[in-house]
C-alpha cells in the first residue's frame, strides 16, 4: 500500500503537467464567415465609388488643362494667372480627396473587420474554455512550427461554434 501511495505521489506532478494546447487558423475561419464576404463586398463597392469620383475629378482637370494649354497664348495675363491658380487648387483638391478616400476606406475596413475579429476571438475563447485548453495559438500570426502531436487543431471547432461549415 505504501508503494502504491508513493507511486501515485510521484506520478501526480506528471498528470498535472499534461496540459492541452491547441492551434487555430483564424484567417481560414474569418474568410469562411458570411460576415467577411459581406464586409469585403461593401469595402470593394466603397473603393469603386471613390475611384469613380476621383476619375471624374481627374477627367475634368485634364479637360481644363488641355483647354488652358490651347488658349494660353491668347489669354490676358490676369485671366491666365487666375486659371493657373484654379488648376493648382483643383489639383490640390484631387490630391486631398484621394487622401481622404484612403483614410475613409481604411477606417471602414477596420471597423468592419473589428466586429468580425471580435466574434472569432470570442469563439476561440469559448472553444478553449469548453475543451480545457491552456493555450490556443493562431497559425495566421506566423508561428513557424506547431507540433501536431502536442497541439490540437481546433479550427473546425471554432467554425462550428460560429455556425460555419
| 3-class secondary structure per residue, 65-126 | HHHHHHHHHHCCHHHHHHHHHHHHHHHHHHHHHHHHHHHHHHHHHHHHHHHHHHHHHHHHHH
What is the number of alpha carbons within 13 Å of residue 7 lying toward its C-beta?
4
Grid coordinates of 104? 475613409
Q: What is the pLDDT of residues 79-133, one digit of tens each?
A: 999 999 999 999 999 999 999 999 999 999 999 999 999 999 999 999 999 999 9
Question: Can you say whether the dihedral through the CA atoms of 92, 93, 98, 101 is positive or negative?
Answer: positive
Q: Is the pTM of this model over 0.85?
A: no
Q: Does pLDDT of 43 surpass 70?
A: yes
At residue 8 the predicted structure's pLDDT band, cuts being 50, 70 and 90, is low
159: DSSP letter: H
Q: What is the pLDDT of residue 149?
A: 81
Check residue 144 and report its DSSP letter: S
Any residues with CB less than 8 A from the CB of 140 and at least 6 apart, and which?
25, 26, 27, 28
**Domains of the chain: residue spans and CATH:** 18-162 (3.30.910.20)
**Res 5: pLDDT:** 43
Unique residue bearing C-alpha cell 474568410: 31
Amino acid at each position: 500500500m505504501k508503494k502504491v501511495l508513493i507511486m501515485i505521489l510521484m506520478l501526480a506532478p506528471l498528470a498535472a503537467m499534461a496540459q492541452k494546447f491547441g492551434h487555430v487558423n483564424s484567417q481560414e475561419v474569418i474568410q469562411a464567415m458570411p460576415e467577411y464576404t459581406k464586409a469585403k463586398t461593401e469595402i470593394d463597392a466603397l473603393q469603386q465609388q471613390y475611384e469613380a469620383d476621383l476619375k471624374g475629378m481627374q477627367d475634368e482637370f485634364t479637360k481644363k488643362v488641355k483647354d488652358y494649354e490651347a488658349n494660353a497664348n491668347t489669354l490676358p495675363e490676369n485671366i491666365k494667372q487666375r486659371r493657373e491658380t484654379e488648376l493648382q487648387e483643383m489639383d490640390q483638391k484631387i490630391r486631398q480627396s484621394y487622401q481622404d478616400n484612403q483614410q475613409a476606406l481604411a477606417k471602414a475596413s477596420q471597423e468592419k473587420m473589428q466586429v468580425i475579429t471580435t466574434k472569432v476571438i470570442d469563439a476561440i475563447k469559448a472553444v478553449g474554455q469548453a475543451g480545457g485548453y491552456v493555450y490556443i495559438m493562431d497559425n495566421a500570426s506566423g508561428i513557424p512550427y506547431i507540433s501536431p502531436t502536442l497541439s490540437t487543431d481546433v479550427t473546425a471547432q471554432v467554425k462550428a461554434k460560429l455556425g460555419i461549415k
